[in-house]
């Protein structure tokens, strides 16, 4: 059995799968489904406090407070963001009035367009797994349990059955795409 601690909180749990015959296999299916979904969406989903070191990108803006028309933008990985507690720009801690938060674009704006990286400590995520992601996790886990060998198709004389190809369905991808990260990967700070 794969330990839950390897991927963090599960998107689906064994009791949510209903009547299962092998609890260990069901737990493994929940872990694998959760890990695959989180890997696909590319960001954490549940509420937590994160410290991410992310690149600062220069962006042209039109605002009167910035005479040179350039700011630095840091696109945060986890969202929705509920609090930002610390911003360290190239090793210098910024005061709260030295940055602003653009919630519509999930980005932190700093006046230093030439900065290299920012270490941002913030609270973000959903308090519970969104229903769409929970439904996808359940479908994936149940699919793993009903076809543990990952067989694509079987044929016996005139009888032929085709299962999923082991990848997410178009519907599952469409649901997960709503939560997919539009930013790069997280680097450990």
Domain map of the chain by residue range? 4-45+127-177, 48-124
Among 134, 121, 130, CA closest to 82:
121
Nearest-angstrom CA–CA distance, 28 and 4: 9
> For position 146, what pLDDT does the model report?
83
Evaluate if pTM is beyond 0.85.
Answer: no
Nearest-angstrom CA–CA distance, 109 and 55: 12
Q: 3-class DSSP state for residue 35?
A: helix
Query: Phi and psi at residue 78, in whole multiples of 5°?
Result: -90, 145
Find the DSSP H helices in 50-117: none
- Cα 28 to chain centroid, rounded: 20
- Element at 148 (helix H, strand E): none
- Please list the ranges in the chain whose pLDDT falls under 70: 1-8, 61-69, 148-154, 161-166, 182-189
Write b or e for each residue in 22-58: b if 16 or more Cβ atoms lie within 10 A of its Cβ, otherwise e: eeeebbbbbbbbbbbbbebbbbbbbeeebebebebee
> For position 21, what pLDDT does the model report?
86
């Amino acid at each position: 059995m794969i330990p839950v601690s390897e991927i963090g909180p599960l998107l689906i749990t064994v009791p949510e799968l209903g009547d299962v015959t092998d609890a260990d296999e069901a737990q493994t299916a929940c872990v694998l489904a959760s890990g695959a979904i989180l890997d696909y969406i590319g960001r954490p989903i549940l509420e937590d406090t994160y410290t991410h070191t992310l690149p600062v990108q220069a962006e042209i803006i039109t605002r009167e407070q910035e005479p040179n028309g350039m700011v630095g933008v840091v696109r945060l990985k986890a969202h929705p963001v509920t609090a930002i507690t610390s911003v360290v720009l190239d090793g210098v801690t910024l005061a709260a009035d030295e940055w602003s938060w653009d919630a519509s674009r999930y980005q932190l704006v700093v006046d230093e367009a030439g900065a290299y990286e920012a270490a941002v400590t913030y609270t973000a995520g959903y308090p519970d797994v969104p229903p769409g992601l929970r439904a996808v996790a359940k479908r994936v886990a149940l699919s793993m349990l009903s076809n543990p060998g990952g067989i694509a198709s079987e044929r016996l004389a005139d009888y032929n059955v085709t299962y999923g190809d082991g990848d997410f369905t178009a519907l599952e991808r469409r649901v997960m795409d709503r939560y997919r990260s539009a930013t790069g990967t997280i680097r450990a700070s």
